[in-house]
Amino acid sequence: MAEMVVDNESVSKPKIPSEKILLGIGIASIIMLFAGLTSGYIVRQAEGNWKFFEIPSAFYISSVIILLSSVTMHLALRAAKRDQFQEIKTFLIITLGLGLAFVFTQFIGWNELIKNGVHFVDKTTPSGSFFFALSGLHLAHIAFGILGLIITGAKSIREKYNSSNYLGISLCAIYWHFLDGLWIYLFVFLAIYR
């Protein structure tokens, strides 16, 4: 039998950019953080001494806003893949505006909670503390997403992205879609286990 020699250089393997791997590791750690917190929420709620309250309407509005921002982020990435430079800028700016609107509505929701007697520190029940902690930690991650949008938007103004170079927008989109999904998970979780 003749041996077959394979030239390793001729076999090309698809390479995942190291930036995507690092982003994946970061996302996995955020998932573990929120999985632990929501598990702690369920365990603590089962112990009793839990104040049930309505979720303010501002959180419903913020959920719609973040879903819309995922659509515009997707459109920005699609525009980059098609060399549509003006559309990249437009959709990134809209996504940034929607991200800021999400932050604004979150603060309105927290203000409504406080007006309704739900506080971050309440010696009688931890329910408000958990709600503020979960939504606040998500908002902290949104701040990093907004920073990413600002950087990506600035690069798009200088037309740094095109159909052969859109990794920056792709990374930003992956993180932004993740934050969107995370918020929807938290919102549904808090609506069910409030």
Q: Which domain holds residue 107?
A: 33-38+56-192
The dihedral region occupied by 48, where left means phi > 0, alpha psi between -120 and 50, and beta the remainder, is left
Inside any domain, residue 142:
yes
Inside any domain, residue 28:
no
Q: What is the CATH number of the domain that holds 121?
A: 1.20.120.80
- What does the pLDDT look like over 76-119, one tens digit per residue? 999 999 999 999 999 999 999 999 999 999 999 999 999 988 88
Nearest alpha carbon to residue 160 among 173, 169, 148, 171: 169
Three-state secondary structure readout of 33-93: HHHHHHHHHHHHHHCCCCCCCCCCHHHHHHHHHHHHHHHHHHHHHHHHHCCCHHHHHHHHH
CA distance 70 to 95: 7
pLDDT at 39: 94
CA distance 184 to 64: 10
Inside any domain, residue 101:
yes
- Average pLDDT value over all residues in the chain: 90
CA distance 80 to 82: 5
If one counts the domains in the chain, the total is 1
Cα 142 to Cα 4, 42, 99, 135, 174: the distances in Å are: 53, 24, 8, 10, 13
Inside any domain, residue 127:
yes
- What does the pLDDT look like over 53-84, one tens digit per residue? 889 999 999 999 999 999 999 999 999 999 99
Inside any domain, residue 43:
no
Inside any domain, residue 88:
yes
